Structure 1
Amino acid sequence: MNASHSEFKNPDRSLAGRDDALPGLPYLLDDARLSSLLGETVRVTRVRYKPRTSLLVAFRRIRNGSFDYGWAHTLSSPAKLLRRESTSRSRGGNVRILRPDPRQDDMLVAVGGTADDWALHKNLLWLYEHGIERLGLHYGPDTGLPAGSSVLRYKPERRLVLLASSTAAPVVLKAAAKPASPGQQAHFLDRLRLHGVPLLPQLGDTECLANGISACVAWGRGDLTEFDDDSRAFTAGEALARLHGIPITGRTVAEAADSSLQDGAGSWLAQVTAQLKATRSMVSSLVPAYEEPARCIEAELGFLLLEGAGSGRVLVHGDFSPDQVLVGGSEVRLIDFDRARPGMAEADLGSFAAVEETVLPGWERAHAGGPKTARLIEGYVGAGGRFSQTAVDAWAAFRLFNNSVEPFRNRSPEWAAGMSWHLNRAMELIS
């Protein structure tokens, strides 16, 4: 598939030229212009874009010798930004309103730090006032965060992930805008442990989870993406087979999670359809030349996934990938079960394969995945797992299609070309 030369040469400029409802967009998609606007050197690390409505970015900077994060936001309705600035000031926050071009009154950009994130503020405040001591941590000096903490990941209005010091061992702490999902509840995770799924002990109690706070002791030497030794992928495959082997009726998931985890096939299929539609719409907005191939992939995947989704449902991880597998010596731990639900086993296998492919884009292969996927499947089958390769390829294409917008969101310099690769590979797997 081909985009125009301008869309590849400067896709951000091309996008900004099409979206005249967001005149501040060029300043937030360009590190140099945003740095000039802020008066300090920053690098945009993540964006969330709603065409003709809003652009929200996370940026990283160095302060006092360490990384610090902030956000910048522009809206098609400047009045909303002014109201958020006023709300921030009323509670002692530091949100600022900047005017990149004084000649344009409707071009406003709001900027703030992680503590000023309006969606996270309530739960971060609860963490500071009630949660730090519960987790065995210490208060930091005037930061609102635990002492000695550093930011691992930040998605504005979604979550903040910290590595914090404690008297025993470092702690990985997540503050989310929403309360914990059923897949994060202690009784659900206990059920997984009883069936042999290797997990990390959770430190937060039910009140922490109700306020979007979860934590565990830092463990291992990294995740599976960082290791060339594929033997750990074999072990991860065995662990995944144990997860998929947990019955989803009777005294299992019915006890382990609430009804929102046990959505019926109709609800689950509706979510798949909605996700395909949302991805196609965003692809079309970012690079209009990709609209036709995106529609073809949406239609073909809709048919393939919905055709076989009514049978063989198991308890799936829901977001399985190499970075969800922590490695320590000969052992592994599976993490992040907030999207756990009944589904098809191939959805997890295909998701893992698709994510591995993103770091192996030049390797020719007939089926989804690379060497880690092959070893994962060996361990999976050896532990009793069963799957259809055709279905794995289809679910890998689903993940690749949905992830086609990630190069843009993660600010890859060649994001239009990255989108093209994702779409081409998804089409190859289902053709």
Structure 2
Amino acid sequence: MSRHATLHVALDPDRVGELVGADVRVTRLRHKPGQYTVAALADATGPTGWLRLTPHQDRAARDAERAARVGRRVEVVEADGLVLVHGDLWTDPRLARVLHRAADLVDASVVVRHNPLRRLVLRRGTTQIRVTTKAQPDVHRLVPALAEESLAAAPRGRASSRVTRWEWVPGESLDAVSGRGDLGARRAGEIAGELLARLHQVPVPAGAHERLPQRAGWDDGGLRATARGLAEVDAELGARAAGLVDRLPAVPVGAPVLLHGDWSSDQLVVGEHGARMIDLDRAGSGPALRDLASYLAVEALRTGDPEGAGAAGLRTGYEEGGGSWPGDAAVRSASAAALLSRAKEPLRRANPTWRDGVGRTLGLAEELLR
């Protein structure tokens, strides 16, 4: 049996629907060659559950046991020489116990997003609930000045380090409104840059930088792991990615600042309140370059232009907001690294033409490194 047999089934929407017995689609997946593919499932109304495809009966049995421990059950089906396990969101193997312990909080919530084995985002009234398998940084406690700046959604409590409550910010994401009416890519970049500059200038108390999660400019080991992961499913794409990692120059990153950690136009909501950041569960301490490159990489993927109007707008807004631009060469290199870190996203999003998507991402990184 092919080491990617589970992946081939997960990428076939008709076969997934047949096996699950419902009109669902795969929205996100994680593939371990020869071991399993885990996927998030959704129907026309939104996220509904998860599945695991594996050749190993014992792994499927463990998933069933985990569900039973929290008083729930999963379905187990054998087909195509594989074992399929699937269940509702509350039986996600890595999140089930966390959700069970916070049942009074998550009950009757509306599901917003599900990343299998990683994260579940819910909404209950005017509160967003974020449930993760890893501890979320208590950034507002470590940096109390953040609350005074009104930059981001306000925290509303922590049931635990992995279950947090936040203000639900009304409005639309900057990503959704970019290009609509008078708000073009350049103006969107200016808004994102100005807000980011304000975040980077929030004073961090002495000693707090060390207690925040450390976010490097880029993680060379992580980028090489991404290249190896690509090589496992496509040797040519993996070699191409590895070659680009080899070409990344060393870049001075400067003093650490308070980082958003995953900055892009869909992490910013605009409305009557102005512009506010959301999703601070990846916040940390590190070079400003990391957040800038994160935004530019996502903008490049959205527009196909790594140094277009959005990039120019980001620099204008960042400098007008009081930020110090790191320098064009450093920004290009960091943006290339940020693109490489996202190289597997088309596959993770279960895109049937994921190879084309990966190739496009690598092409944008190549353009920046010329």
Contact 1:232 1:331 (8 Å CA) reproduced: no
User: Which position in structure 2 is the counterpart of 1:11?
Assistant: none
Residue 237 of structure 1 aligns with an amino acid whose one-letter code is: G
Cα displacement string for residues 60-102 of structure 1 (whole angstroms, at most 9, x for unaligned residues): 125xxx445111112353212113213423542121211014x
**Partner in structure 2 of residue 430 of structure 1:** 369
Residue matched to 2:207: 254
Where do 1:219-258 residues align within 5 Å? 219-227=169-177, 228=179, 229-230=183-184, 231=187, 233-246=189-202, 252=205, 254-255=207-208
- 2:93 counterpart of 1:150: no
TM-score (norm 2): 0.89
Letter in 2 for 1:44: V
**Shift, 1:430, TM fit:** 1.1
Q: Which residue of 1 aligns with 2:224?
A: 277
**Letter paired with 2:39:** V
Q: Is the Cα contact below 8 Å between 1:44 and 1:59 reproduced in 2?
A: yes
**Do the aligned partners of 1:22 and 1:76 also contact (CA within 8 Å) in 2?**
no
What are the equivalent positions in structure 2 for 1:193-204 lying under 5 Å apart?
A: 193-194=147-148, 196=149, 198-204=151-157
Number of residue-to-residue matches in the alignment: 363
Question: Contact 1:221–1:328 (CA<8 Å) still a contact in 2?
Answer: yes
The letter for the 2-side match of 1:123 is V
Superposition CA RMSD, Å = 2.4
**Matching residue within 140, 144, 161 for 1:190:** 144
Matched, 1:355 2:298: yes
Identity %: 27
How far apart are the structure 1 equivalents of 2:296 and 2:245?
19
C-alpha separation in 2, matches of 1:34 and 1:329: 42
Q: Which amino acid aligns with 2:94?
A: A
Please list the CA deviations of residues 143-194 of structure 1 after superposition, one character each: whole Å capped at 9, or x if unmatched.
xx432x32211011111111223xxxx32221112332243xx313532234
Q: How far apart in 1 are the matches of 2:69 and 2:203?
A: 51
Residue of structure 2 equivalent to 1:329: 272
Specify which structure has the higher proportion of strand. Answer: 2
Match in the other structure for 1:209: 160
Check whether the contact 1:200–1:216 (CA below 8 A) recurs between aligned residues. Answer: yes
- In structure 2, how many angstroms separate the alpha carbons of the residues matched to 1:87 and 1:380? 47
**Distance in structure 1 (CA, Å) of the matches to 2:160 and 2:359:** 39
CA spacing shift, 1:26–1:283, aligned 2, 3 Å = closer
Equivalent in the alignment of 1:299 = 246
Q: State the TM-score, normalizing by the size of structure 1.
A: 0.78
Contact 1:46 1:58 in 2 (8 A): yes
Aligned in 2, Cα 1:83/1:313: closer, same or farther, shift over 3 Å?
closer
1:121-132 paired onto structure 2 within 5 Å: 121-129=96-104, 132=105
Shift of 1:48: 0.6
Gaps of 5+ in 2: none
Does the aligned pair in 2 maintain the 1:24–1:108 contact within 8 Å? no
Larger radius of gyration: 1
Contact preservation (8 Å) 2:47, 2:112? no
Letter in 2 for 1:200: A
3-state SS in 2 of match to 1:99: strand
Paired with 1:391 and 1:426, the residues of 2 have a C-alpha distance of: 14
SS at structure 2 position matched to 1:385:
coil
List aligned pairs for 1:6-405, cutoff 5 A.
20-21=2-3, 23-62=5-44, 66-101=45-80, 104=81, 107-129=82-104, 132=105, 145-147=106-108, 149-165=109-125, 170-183=126-139, 186-188=140-142, 190-194=144-148, 196=149, 198-205=151-158, 208-210=159-161, 212-227=162-177, 228=179, 229-230=183-184, 231=187, 233-246=189-202, 252=205, 254-255=207-208, 259-261=211-213, 263=214, 268=216, 272-301=219-248, 304=249, 306-309=250-253, 311-329=254-272, 331-361=274-304, 363=305, 368-387=306-325, 388-405=327-344
Q: Is the 8 A contact 1:203 1:215 kept in 2?
A: yes
| Letter aligned with residue 92 of structure 2 | D
